[in-house]
Structures are given as structure tokens and as C-alpha cells.
Amino acid sequence: MRRRVLQSQTIAKVCEIKKLQKDVFSLKVETELKHKEQSIPKAGQFYMLKSRPSRVLLTRPISVYKVRLLDASGKELASHADCLQETFPAVQDAHVLELEFLILQKGEGTEDLCNLQVGLSIDLIGPLGNHFFKPSESLSGAKNSKAFAEREAAKEANTENQLPPSVAIVGGGIGIAPVSGFAQGLENESYDFYASFKSGTYGIENVQAKNLYITTDDGSVGIHGMLPAVLTADTLKEKKYTLLYACGPLPMLAYLQKICLEAGVQAWLSMEEKMGCGVGACLGCTIKTTEGNRQCCKAGPIFQGDKLIF
Amino acid sequence: MNNTHSKTQIDTHSNTRRTSEKQKGRHQNSQSANSPVDLSVNIAGVQFKNPVIAASGTFGFGEEYAQLVKVDALGGICSKGLTLEARQGNTGKRLHETASGLINSIGLENPGIETFIKRQLKTMLSFDTVSIANLSGSTIESYVEGARLLDETEIPMIELNISCPNVKQGGMAFGLDPISAAEVTTAVRKATRKPLIVKLSPNAPKLLSVAEAVQESGADALSLINTIQAMAINIERGKPVFNNVKAGLAGPAIKPIALSMVWDVCKMMQEKKEKDRIPVIGLGGIRNWIDAVEFIMAGASAIQVGVATFANPQAMEEIIAGIETFMKRKNYTTIEDFRGLALE
């Protein structure tokens, strides 16, 4: 019995590493796409990474920031935005998959990854987990949401001018990576983007938002403060958002759940947990939802906001 | 549908070891380096295509790893620890990596045996490998009821878990002393005719007495070791990392200890008459073929791989290939040819 190969375990070569902040690095690696069925990651998916060699035992889950498809000579065959299109064709021949990750140096595992140099390599397992759906699909997928009910009601009423969903995308700290990558695959200025950092910014240079709101804890860029300084239940209502995507620290996601519930905004939140395997086998990354325990690595990392129990 | 797991095919002579005379004879014949090697092993009448088995709790029910691992290439797969009732597992942090090790406090999160039979068993059995149901419980009654339910299925083998350190009720408590270990083994033995492996805890003060006791109570095979009790402290909070305080250490860090314990139990077996021996499955921190060969040379008939799969999903396939290459180089044609060499 032959199964479709979607996930794979490979060794990828480091082709670029940049220090973005004191403890934040961007790591670009290349891996050969060997199987036709091998998946190109979608926005919000992650890989398990470990530097070769490494002081640590286990791989670390890191979200994809950007992806490109190159030919053998390094020429771009598909840009990041191309790769995120639903209709993107399957891989025809052996191509090179270029992946970019943003990594926060937290412990020995991420430190080894951040200390890599061009030409060295990493262990790579993935792509893993679920992914962000585009705004139109996100709303139609969330059948229980108030926003969905309203849109359906509008359809029933035969409204000619169906408004596209009004989208807010929120990234906090290193959580900027998957949401920024996602935003860069959407139509320009089809969303507002909120980015919150401790100090300075990274990962948002190519975000083409209608409105970009930045907060920093130290006031070094944008508005001095944290996310609630620019985004509250009232602002969600005022700006008539119908859909919100976010990734960031747990307290930020809990806050977003709360204000989205209050404002009746559908939220898709990307969660983080320590992971052993990344495929749903070790049950180390169990999180609580209204539907019972779920594995962050397999059922997630992205969950419908109102289903999470913080 | 392959039928190699049916009860009728159980070979009762399987535990007999080849004599050393035969071994020497074979070596003297000095077969060509290309001669086929036979990696198959027979444990309690169940035929495994090779001695490499995925350890319980590290491989889900097989399906989880099916995209990354050629499950059909493995000797066997053990299910996640199953209990009669569904369990939510432990709250708080569940994993903590240490130097060459991983402390876990999962707490037997599982769907319950009935759900397992309805939802996961069919897929698990569809792989061309030996499926083993890992059975745990909190009371003797729940172990027995679980065993009865499993007995009615096509699962070819049960691994009785009396060594999980992460649940307050039952689990390891049964495996720590010979009397309670014997009690639960006897009860489960009566509830099922399936070949029964009993998984031992390294935390038992008298491991050999527990091994002896479960064998006398009807175990067909032993597997050891489960995780070693351990803990970690979050120094920022000044509190233990795990809500249960203590948890179980696995990974390469525990391999030399596991090997020593497997050697002890196998030595004990070797001192028995041949007909009184039962096979031992060795596990604990095995991460490559050299580790696996060490356990076999310590007397293990098969080995299990756990945490190594997390770090390297290909580990088991690499171990199988590595054992085969080693056997060719050494002119061994069967696992028995080098099993227990280091006991002599």
C-alpha cells in the first residue's frame, strides 16, 4: 500500500542567516523536493528543526515565515505569494524548496539554530499542522460563528453588494512569522495588520496592509504600549472587522479571544506548546478546547478562537 | 488481510535457543558475506519480521507516523498506553528536555479501550507489522476488564503496563513490588489467552523479584525498562516543572542503566532451565543500531525504540538496516546467533 507522501524528513542546507535583533534571527534553508507528492507548506504550518550537530536531543517546532520554489540553478519558479495560492500546481520535477524561519533564541535548541552558518545543515521534519484559510474560506468554514450567520442572512436577503470579510491580522513577538507570511500571500491592502513587539520591529517589512498598527513595550517604534493600546473590543466593532487571525504569546491570544467574543468577530488563533514529535504521537502538546483535549501539533496549531480554553 | 497474527499459528517451540554448538558450526562454515540474514524473531509464539518495535506512547497507534516512517518495515508497534476509561492525562507541562533525555508527564491520556477498538484498532492492524496493545489500569478490576475487551479483538499481543510513573492511581504502583505485580499479572492472565508481555519498571527496588513474580504469574515475555522516575525544577518560579512533581525520564541518558537492568534479567533467565525461560524485550534510550545490538547481546530477543523516533523518525528503519549490515559483517544468519553473547 503506497501512501501519499506529504510530510517528509530531510536535511536542509542553510543558505542565509541574519540577526534581526539581539535574540531574533532569520534562517533560510534549502531542501530538494524529491517526491512529487511532497507538500509545499501553507501559511501557518510549521516544521520541526534541529541544527546539525546540536547539543539538544529533540527538534524544535518553528513556523514557516516564507517559502519559495527555485530551480536547480537558484532561479525563482514560484514566489512566496505564488506558493500560497490554493491552485498552485504540484511539483513537476526535482525542485528546490526554500524555507525561511524567524527564530527567537530561547534555550540551547534555538541557540544552536541561531548560531548556524551558511553551508551548514539542519534536520527538517514537515510541513506539519494545519494552516490558515484565506478570509473567504475561513468564514464559510466557521459555520457556528455569528459573522457567518449574518453573512448567510445577507445572502438570504439577496443582497447584491456582498462585502468581502473585513480582516484584522495580529502578530505578537516571534508570533509575527506565520501571520506575516500569511498576510504576504493575501491581496495587498485587503487587511489591517497589528504588530506588537517588546522593542523595535522585524518580519513586517513586506506586509502590504491597508492600515499597519505597531506597538512596542518601550515605545521605540509606533505606539508606546502593548496590543490593547490599539486593539480593543470597541475598536474591533468600530472598524467592523468580521475576521481576525493571530499568533503571539499566550496572554495576547487569551486577550484576543475575549475581545473577539465580545465584538462577535471570528478569530483564528495560532497556539504554541512544547512538542516532542510534531505528529500527534507523544501527546506532549495537548491543549484544552471546548471539544476536549487536542494536540497542538496535529489538530492545530491554529484553532478557532472560541473553542480554546485558556 | 494478513493472518499471521491468528492464534492458531502460535509456535510453542519458539522459545528454544539454539545450542552454542550449532552456532559455532555455522561460523566455521564461513558462509559468503552475501548470504541472506534472517532478522525475524519469535516472541511468545508471535512472529516478528525483525526485532525492532516502536515503544508504547511514542508512536501513537501507527497512523500518526505513517507519512514519515515505513510502518510496514517495522517488527512491531505498541499502542499508546490504554485504560478501560478514557483519560485526559495530566495538566500543566508534560515534556521537559534534559541533557540527552526527555522527562515526560503525559499521564496515560488515551481514548479508552472501547473507543480504541472502534476507532484506531482497524487502522493499526492494517499495517503489515505486529500490533501490540499496551494495557494499563488503575485497579485490578479495570486491568481485567480491559484485557477481556482486548481478548475479543484481532490484536495479536498485549503488553501489560505496570510501570507508568505518571498516574497516581495504579500504573507503576503495581510494578514496584513482587506481590502486587503478581496479583495484577495473574488476574490479567486469566482474562486473556493472548500472548502477554509484562512491562517492568526500573523504579522497583527489587527488579529481579518482580520479574520472577510476573513470570510465575503467567507472563509470556518481559519488556524493560519503562521510564526512570525523575524531576525538574523551574528556577524562576521556584517550583517543580511538573504538576505531579515527579515524572519519567527517557532517552539516550537512560540507555546504560536500561542495558544493565536488561542484562540482569536475562542473566537470571539464562540460569534457568531452557524450558523455564521467557523472552525479554529490551528498551530504554536506544537510538541507533549499536545500542540495539548491545541489548540483544545482553540477552534481549527484541528491542523497542521510543524517544529516538521523535528526534529522528527514520531511527527504527536505520536500526533495522544497521543490524542487518552488522550481521552480514559478522556472518550471523539469525538474531539468535548473537543474542546473549555478553552474558557468557
Query: For A72-110, what is each residue's pLDDT tens digit?
Result: 888 888 889 888 886 665 556 668 999 999 999 999 999
What is the mean predicted confidence (pLDDT) over A294-303?
A: 96
- What is the least distance, in Å, from the CA of A69 to any CA of chain B? 22
The whole-number pLDDT of residue A93 equals: 62
Query: Percentage of chain B with pLDDT > 70?
Result: 88
pLDDT digits (tens, 9 = 90+) for A221-244: 999 999 999 999 999 999 999 999
The whole-number pLDDT of residue A83 equals: 85
What is the mean predicted confidence (pLDDT) over B112-125?
A: 97
Q: H-helix or E-strand containing B295?
A: helix B289-297
Please give the ipTM for the structure prediction. 0.89
pLDDT digits (tens, 9 = 90+) for B163-200: 877 676 656 788 999 999 999 999 999 999 999 999 99
Give the other-Cβ count within 10 Å of A21's Cβ: 15
What is the mean predicted confidence (pLDDT) over A54-75?
A: 93
* A76-90, A153-167, B19-33, B212-226, range with greatest mean pLDDT: B212-226
The whole-number pLDDT of residue B11 equals: 41
The whole-number pLDDT of residue B26 equals: 43
Question: How many contiguous H segments (helices) and E segments (strands) does chain B have?
Answer: 10, 16
Radius of gyration of chain B (CA): 19
Per-residue pLDDT band for B5 (boundaries 50, 70, 90) equals very low
Q: Is the pLDDT of residue B28 over 50?
A: no
The whole-number pLDDT of residue A165 equals: 84
CA distances from B130 to B21, B185, B335 (A): 32, 22, 18
Q: Is the pLDDT of residue B22 over 60?
A: no
Q: How far apart are CA A203 and CA A113, in angstroms?
A: 18
Q: Is the pLDDT of residue B1 over 80?
A: no
Query: Do B163 and B175 form a contact (C-beta atoms < 8 A)?
Result: yes
Mean pLDDT of chain A: 89
* B10-19, B141-150, B162-171, range with greatest mean pLDDT: B141-150
What is the mean predicted confidence (pLDDT) over A2-23?
A: 85
Q: Is the pLDDT of residue B110 over 60?
A: yes
Q: Is the pLDDT of residue B288 over 50?
A: yes
Q: Out of A5, A9, A109, name the one closest to residue B313 (CB).
A: A9
Radius of gyration of chain A (CA): 19
pLDDT digits (tens, 9 = 90+) for A18-48: 999 999 999 999 998 876 666 789 999 999 9
What is the mean predicted confidence (pLDDT) over A255-277?
A: 96
Give the other-Cβ count within 10 Å of B267's Cβ: 15
Q: Is the pLDDT of residue B281 over 80?
A: yes
Burial (CB < 10 A; 0-12, 13-18, 19+), residue B83, is buried
Query: Percentage of chain B with pLDDT > 90?
Result: 85
B144 or A152, higher pLDDT: B144
A6 at interface of B, judged by CB pairs closer than 8 A:
yes
- What is the least distance, in Å, from the CA of A202 to any CA of chain B? 28
- Residue in A283, A286, A294, A309 to test binding to B, most B beta-carbons within 10 Å: A283
A282 at interface of B, judged by CB pairs closer than 8 A:
yes
Residues of B near A (Cβ–Cβ under 8 Å) read 57-60, 64-68, 72, 80, 88-89, 93-97, 100-102, 104, 106, 109, 126, 251-252, 307, 309-314
* Closest of A272, A262, A268 to residue A305, by C-alpha: A268
The CB-side HSE value for A262 (13 A sphere, CA atoms) comes to 14
